[in-house]
Amino acid sequence: MAGAQQAILLSSAGGVLFKAFLAFDAVGPPGTTITFVGRPLGDAAANRRIIAVAFTDFTGATPTLSTATIGGIAAVIVVAGTGNLAATHRQHAAIILAEVPTGTTGNYVFNFSQTVQGTRIGIWSVIGMSTNTPTSTGYQGTAGSPNSVTLNTTLGSFVIGGCAFQDAGTMVLSGGVSTDADVGDAIYFSASNTAAGSLSPSFTINTGVSNSHGIIGASWPP
């Protein structure tokens, strides 16, 4: 993957029974199919869903995420976007979700319409979601200017999302989101919506550089 990338991933749990951040990982070889082999799925459960946030670097023709699988099961592409970014280093972002009741590890496979340079993912295991359909989604990725996403939530709902940017940039979080972990080129956040009005997520990237940066997120009802 070209450039020094930082990915910022965030999550929150409200009415779901259990939510766990499992891993951050990166795969670099260029290709139309990017595969993460034997990555964690969390504890098996009949109502388990796996959610992944993916940031993909590319140059040249703009790719689309055609299909994705988690643990061999077809994933729903919840939201995806490609920013108006620098031609030499561009970025595609997506959130995918699959119902994966069995297994503790599995492959995460992303199939693109064009060759991409590499992908970074953050993985969550969620137990107790009522639906795969999000309440709201958002993506913004405009070069050389701040990008922001605000997600709608209700009592008990939760959000998952993230941002990534190259070179200079800062991330501003509001609405009850706090840091989980900083693992070098990724910083993880979480929050809970256990009281009315406790989660009003708004996320902004402030940067003046014309390089890859974008922010993506989705919220689900309890």
Q: What is the pLDDT of residues 62-85, one digit of tens each?
A: 889 999 999 999 999 999 988 765
Q: pLDDT tens digits, residue range 167-180?
A: 555 566 665 665 65
Task: Please compute the mean of the pLDDT values over residues 1-11 and round it to a whole number.
Answer: 46
Of the listed ranges 125-129, 132-136, 140-144, the one predicted with least confidence: 140-144
**Is the pTM higher than 0.75?**
yes
- Label residue 108 by pLDDT band (50, 70, 90): very high
**Percent of the chain residues past pLDDT 70, beyond the cut:** 64
pLDDT tens profile 206-217: 544 445 567 788
- The DSSP-derived string for the chain is --S-EEEEEEEEESSSSEEEEEEEEEE-S-EEEEEEEEEE--S--TTEEEEEEEEEEE-SSPP-EEEEEETTEEPEEEEEEE-B--TTSEEEEEEEEEE--S-SEEEEEEEEEEEESEEEEEEEEEE--S-SS-SEEEEE-BTTS-EEEE----TT-EEEEEEEEESS-EEEEESS-EEEEE-SSEEEEEEE--STTS---EEEEE--SSS-EEEEEEEE--
Extents of the domains making up the chain: 5-220
